[in-house]
Amino acid sequence: MILYSLAVVSVLSATLTRSQSTSTTLQLPVVQTQLGAISGGILTSKNGRQYEAFRGIPYARPPVGDLRFSKPLSHPAFDQGHFDAGEYGKLCWQDVPGLIRFNGSLMSEDCLFLNIFRPRKGQSSDPTDRPARPVFIFIHGGAFISGGSEFYEPGQMVTEGNVVVVTVNYRLGIFGFLSTGDSRFPGNYGIWDQLLAIRWVKDNIQAFGGDPDQITVGGESAGAVSSAFLSLSSHSKGLFHRAILQSGAATTSGAIQRNPLQGLLDLACNIHCPCSRSSLPSGDVPSDQDTLTCLKKAAPEQLMAAQYPDRSLARTIVDYVYMPIVDGDLIANDPAEMLQNEDYLTQIGFYDRDYLSGCVNNEGGFFLSQTLYQTGNAALLLNFDFYDLDLVPLLMEKRYGKSSPYAEEVVKFFYTFPRYPGTAQLNLKAVLDTPGDTFFYVPLTEFARAVARGQRSERRNLVYFFEHYPAYLVGRELGTPHAVDLVYEFDMDPSFFGNASLWNDDDEHLRQVFIGMIVGFMETGNPSTAFQAYLKDGWSDFDLRTESYLSIKPDSLTMQRHLRAHAVSLWVDLIPSLLDPVVHLGNRSSTHIPTLSELIG
């Protein structure tokens, strides 16, 4: 399945400590909501300005006991009419094999909290100190199995942009996505959590100085995939007005689990719950509910210990079991099909939003990071057998649900030609580009094309490409790896990712550009005003003719066309035509299926 920013999340998790309020002697902020009074704290951003933080606010009832593996329920009014939001709530249960493992005391099933950050009066760069501010709801990444909202403190964005930012916890892994594929364990609980959090913000954010009619939902990696799923859901119509997708989209490889029941039965067997296939003649779960009851009663630690059996290297790195599914409700249909259905997209208000989507220039770098964490030996990535026999077939399976020997040969030819006699290893860039394309660059283009096909003329469809080779990173010659753009967006220390002493003026300039881009989009859907000195003709929308995108470099901002066009043609046109030529001829995204010679230039 998908791997998003796990290495980054693990480094953050190992290094970060929970932020404390700047001073208990300052007058702490208190907000009156329809649920009761909420008191917060004061934090100091990296630029030295103070801002207000309301952390650990419960937006749902604890999903424990009978509420485990169920849709979330709204949180009632606070006991005694008050809630102290001075500290972060606990992380949702997670245990990523080979990476950081949290102390169990930091995790809980009672983890459905959100955090609200707003400027402190007199500390914002905006002299008007406007009363109703744009709102950004940020959904964290982590492959739907790891991460947490507390790792994304937006001090500089809040104080320099004079906006309100909300970060959200949601259920992960087994607790967020275990499913029978039917109404008994319907799955997608983590996405339902996000939806309920957005509704909570819509209903309450005005009390915090936010504008409920100017909400942007966005995220990075799994958070971007979530934002895409929410944008494609009828349940979110009218809840938000703009969406930001950073390194992820609806068709990201493996974002949908096609066989959720198998994962449930494997888990049941691993913890000694009833799981005999002899009792499942039609492929359903046992009618007496013994399996489901057993899973609901199992201790969280027991479930965590049993979730990942021994598997191949490729599956360990990129194939996760407990993921979103097509449930016919929140995710109504296969995302690729929904993106092609203009009538459906019109009906749910998909075209009524502005969209900002983007990637960094070494998305596949996550794969190298994960291999180092998992095995300590990155050379395994460059092994011909690993690439030919393990990785490529798995990527085909994850994207298309099937493969063929000939199609696999075409993929191998595209990325690794020429293979010189006597060469023992593949080119590292080629190996990283293969999953980078299927997880990130190609889905980005597919999503932007879907927006362009039917979007209203007054709405924006903007795409960016972050092209930077940071001096502080090991392996800088490959570019910015997946998720490292977050250090330019949030108050993260560059030492989490490399040698912070090498953070330079280029990095600081890009931080200003990136935050300006996000804030400008939140405010108007048009961040071009932040780039007037660089873009005389403004930021052109991505349309079906030019497929324009903004190239962001330390020394320039320029409009370019057709991001990774050859790779997009390979995965969107050529491979589907080889796997299912009759169907593809009637449903292809372009009028021309490229030949191999065209693809390799």
**Do residue 176 and residue 293 come from a single domain?**
no
Pairing relationship of beta strands 30-33 and 36-39 according to DSSP bridges:
antiparallel
Residue 385: other Cβ atoms inside 10 A: 9
Using the Cα atoms of residue 520, residue 525, residue 528 and residue 529 in order, give the sign of their dihedral.
Answer: negative
Q: What is the mean pLDDT of the chain?
A: 86
Q: What is the mean pLDDT of residues 404-426?
A: 83
User: Does some domain include residue 344?
Assistant: no
Distance set, CA 351 to CA 138, 159, 450 (Å): 21, 31, 9
Q: Are residues 381 and 526 in the same domain?
A: yes
As for how many domains the chain has, the answer is 3
252 found inside a domain: no
Q: What is the mean pLDDT of residues 143-152?
A: 93
Do residue 388 and residue 269 come from a single domain?
Answer: no
Same domain, 478 and 426: yes
Tokens of 176: 């967020």
Q: What percent of the chain has pLDDT over 90?
A: 64
| pLDDT range class, residue 290, cuts 50, 70, 90 | confident
Chain segment 93-141, per-residue pLDDT in tens: 997 654 555 555 689 999 999 999 999 976 555 545 567 999 999 999 9
Q: In this structure, is residue 476 part of a structural domain?
A: yes
Domain-embedded: residue 171? yes
Q: Are residues 481 and 582 in the same domain?
A: yes
How confident is residue 533, by pLDDT bands cut at 50, 70 and 90?
confident
| Mean predicted confidence (pLDDT) in 228-236 | 98
- Domain identity same for 292 and 242: no
Q: What is the pLDDT of residue 376?
A: 54
Does pLDDT of 155 surpass 70? yes
Q: Are residues 282 and 158 in the same domain?
A: no
Give yes or no: residues 242 and 279 share one domain: no
pLDDT attached to residue 96: 66
Question: 428 and 502 share a domain?
Answer: yes
* Nearest CA-CA partner of 553 in 474, 445, 480, 473: 480
Q: 290, 310, 330 — which closes off a domain?
A: 310
Spell out where 233-323 has E strands: 242-246
82 and 148 both lie in a single domain: yes
Q: What is the pLDDT of residue 17?
A: 42
Flag whether the pTM goes above 0.75: yes
CB atoms within 10 A of CB 367: 26
321 within some domain: no
What is the C-alpha end-to-end distance of the chain, expressed in Å? 30
513: alpha, beta or left, given left = phi > 0 and alpha = psi -120 to 50?
alpha
43 assigned to some structural domain: yes
**Whole-angstrom Cα distance, residue 487 to residue 152?**
9
Q: Shortest CA distance to 504 belongs to which of 541, 540, 471, 547?
A: 471
CATH of the domain at 459: 3.40.50.1820
Q: Which residues contact 559 (CB under 8 A, 6 or more apart)?
A: 535, 537, 539, 540, 548, 549, 550, 551
315 lies in some domain: no
**Domain assignment of residue 279, given as a range:** 260-310
CA distance 101 to 92: 12
Determine, yes or no, domain membership for 408: yes
279 and 228 fall within a common domain: no
465-486 tens-digit pLDDT: 999 988 998 777 777 888 889 9
Tell whether 59 and 139 lie within a shared domain: yes
